[in-house]
Structure 1
Amino acid sequence: MSSWSRRGLLAAMAGAAPLPLLAQGGPQGGVQGGASGDWPSGPIRIVVPFAPGGSTDAVARLAAPGLQSALGVGIVVENRGGAAGSLGTDVVAKARPDGQTWLLTFDSHAVMPALVPRLPFDLRRDLEPVTLIGGAPYVAACRPDKPFRDLAGLLAAARARPGAVTFATPGNGTIGHLVMTLLGSRAGVTFQHLPYRGGGPAVNDAVAGHVDMVVGSAALLAPQIAGGTLRPLVQFGPQRLPALAGTPTAEEGGFPGLQAEAWWGVFAPAGVPAPIVSRFHEALSAAFREERVARQVTEGQQARLVLAGPAELGRFLDAQVETWGRVVRENDIKAD
């Protein structure tokens, strides 16, 4: 079965659905040893700073059973959406640094400092990196009857009709918006951005032909690409997805370093003891390596598992904040 099938995408959500908001744990006590000997002291809360039903929520709920088994306590997945993810992030930034509250967030985390004015927290001062779970490339796709068939054709159309070629995204300041802005700048062309309130409406209008193309994560576009109602033009990952082996990356198209991936990362309130951070990272990584969960992430979210630790996530976040913050500032991009 092709990993681009609708069944693969729905598998992650179906696998996550039976998990209640509070998974009942076994005897409390959990991880023992060193400074984390009395941790966890009760149910662990994972804050997702977005509404239920999205990819971040699904990823959190996929990890919860494995975490519960490893740590011996209940796992609460708490959705705190609003303000591009900053409301839920602030909850974690202000939580007690006791290892009972964690943040599982999305790529918009790196754009917040530039996009949301007067954040009540500092990403690096108030939050501790824990785990970079994985990433999935952003993809630009269009209806099969559009005249451009690849990145070169798209750029040629944009040069022939400056500002007339349109692209839809789930909103202003999303990574899809920013990577197309960066592509236009580097290629010397101008696209017209049409922001939508969510990925579903953006995809629907691209399929209907109301916009020239849509830019979204591979998981968002997978059902339409599999069904033939959208044709991929370019993918922005570090290498080609196996399921998109015929679609070159932007780097292969002549734009070295031009990468954009949807990614999921876990953070803790600053001050959580290092042994607790280490043990939570180990338990979380083990949960995602479980065969069923790994398959649902790689197929359902079209993601590659990374499972990198605190130092790697910190360096990755710094690079993402620098890259996308510069695009926001130089192009005076505002949030919806």
Structure 2
Amino acid sequence: MMERRSLLAAAGLLAAPAVAHAQAAWPNGPIRIIVPFPPGGSTDALSRLLQPRLSAEFGVPVVVENRAGASGALGTAAAARAAPDGNTWVLVFDTHAVNPALIPTIGFDTQRDLTPLLLFGTAPMVLTAHRTRPYRSVAQVVEAAKARPETVTYGTIGNGSLAHLTMALAQRAGGFSLVHVPYRGGGPLAVAAVAGEVDLPIATRPAIGVHIDSGALVPLAQTGATRSPSMPDIPTLAESGIPGIDARAFWGFLGPANLPAAVKQRMEAAIRGALDVPEIRSRVLGLGIDLDPQGEAVFGPFVARQMEVWAQVVRENNIRPD
């Protein structure tokens, strides 16, 4: 028996360096961060803020790949199908929780096929009016929409996006009707918004905040239940006469399912370390994200709750993809 124990102990000692070497071997090549939207949006900006810090941390190239389509589902599907080797990740937006209800043929299981590594934070959206339009309050929008139904337009990052669903809730609660104009991501929406293509752009501050600051867009209301610390002077929809809405965008970092624990720990630690760098943290907060990093134990249930809430809105409003 003693001889057997000695052999097992020796085997364990021999195996330990091999396991440690396998863990230390990652990353052994370029790391890819998929942004499932066009350049110019908040997911793209956040990925590119992290990119140089992660590259320096791991000593390998970190490549940001924009793979847009299907409200972020195409790029996320690529990450879900990737090998669980730690070399492919995806940075998602709130459409990640809406897409399963909106796109029955999405091609992957949001909860089974992905690892929800880190939730960066949340932010309400901002309903704005182009400066050339006469609206300076939600009440004025509602009055105009009731007087001339289906004439006032609002723009979002896409059909079935959180902004679209939120405005569906707002119109039902307020008894008015607007015309939805969907764009294909935050970048295209921002360009259209500042050009005055739509009356009422609605998006997160990361997407359109620069145009609010410049005066091109006039903020009317934010969509959270309470005012965001980053926008303390903008009233909520509830304060503007449309109660019962708490809609916040979120940003999250995911990888394929079945990632090794050591890889998950190293990547999460690296991202948290990047967010602790004062310059990076300041720029992320400057994007308008209410930064509150949460790991897999919180992010997983959070996504599940979001999926349940917004699936109900999709069903009740008979919303279909583009």
Is the CA contact (8 Å cut-off) linking 2:130 and 2:198 kept in structure 1? no
Confirm whether residue 331 of structure 1 aligns to residue 289 of structure 2. Answer: no
Offset, 1:232: 0.9
How do residues 125-144 of structure 1 correspond to structure 2 at under 5 angstroms? Answer: 125-144=112-131
Root-mean-square deviation (Å): 2.7
Structure 1 residue aligned with 2:174:
187
Equivalent residue in structure 1 for 2:48, among 57, 61, 79: 61
CA offset digits 1:166-210 (Å, max 9, x no partner):
212233222211110011122233222122445566556656666
Give the number of aligned pairs: 304
Spell out the pairing of 1:253-264 with structure 2 (5 A cutoff): 253=240, 258-264=245-251
Does the 8 Å contact 1:34/1:275 carry over to 2? no
Question: Is the contact made by 2:94 and 2:162 (CA closer than 8 Å) also made in structure 1?
Answer: yes
**Shift in alpha-carbon separation, 1:229–1:314, aligned structure 2, 3 A:** same
Q: 1:282 to 1:201 in 2, by over 3 A?
A: closer
d(CA) in 1 for partners of 2:268, 2:113: 18
Q: Which residue in the other structure is 2:289 paired with?
A: 303
**Are residues 266 and 207 of structure 1, via their aligned partners in 2, closer, same or farther at CA, if it must alter by over 3 Å?**
closer
Give TM-score, length-normalised by structure 1: 0.80
The aligned residue for residue 320 of structure 1 is: 306
Letter in 2 for 1:322: E
Aligned to 2:100: 113
SS in 2 for 1:244: coil
Question: 1:248 aligns to what SS in structure 2?
Answer: coil
User: Aligned runs of 1:218-297 on 2, under 5 Å?
Assistant: 218-242=205-229, 244-253=231-240, 258-297=245-284
Q: Could you tell me which amino acid in structure 2 is paired with residue 323 of structure 1?
A: V
2:38 to 51, 55, 63: 51
1:74 CA displacement: 2.8
Distance change >3 Å, CA 121–CA 231, structure 1 → 2: same
Alpha-carbon distance between aligned partners in 2 of 1:304 and 1:120, rounded to the nearest angstrom? 31
- Could you say which structure has the larger radius of gyration? 2
Residue 113 to residue 46, structure 1, CA distance change in 2 (3 Å):
same
CA distance in 1, matches of 2:66, 2:200: 31
| Letter of the 2:300 counterpart | G
Answer yes or no: is 1:123 the counterpart of 2:133: no
Give the Cα–Cα distance (whole angstroms) in 1 for the partners of residues 172 and 258 of structure 2: 40
1:138-180: CA deviations, max 9, x gaps?
Answer: 1111134645432333334334444443212233222211110
Instruction: Give the distance between the partners of 1:204 and 1:215, measured in 2 at CA.
Output: 13
Residue number among 199, 209, 213 corresponding to 1:212 in the alignment:
199
Deviation larger for 307-316 or 80-89: 80-89
> Quick one: structure 1 residues 310 and 291, their matched pair in 2 at CA, closer, same or farther if it must change by over 3 Å?
same
In structure 2, C-alpha distance between the alignment counterparts of 1:82 and 1:205, rounded to whole Å: 18
Deviates more, 1:309-318 or 1:147-156: 147-156
Give TM-score scaled by structure 2 length: 0.83
In structure 2, distance between residues paired with 1:279 and 1:198? 31
Contact kept? 1:99, 1:276, Cα under 8 Å: yes
SS in structure 2 at match of 1:98: coil
Q: Closer, same or farther in 2 for the Cα pair 1:34/1:180, shift >3 Å?
A: farther
| Conserved? CA contact 1:142–1:207, under 8 Å | no
Q: Aligned partner of 1:150: which letter?
A: S
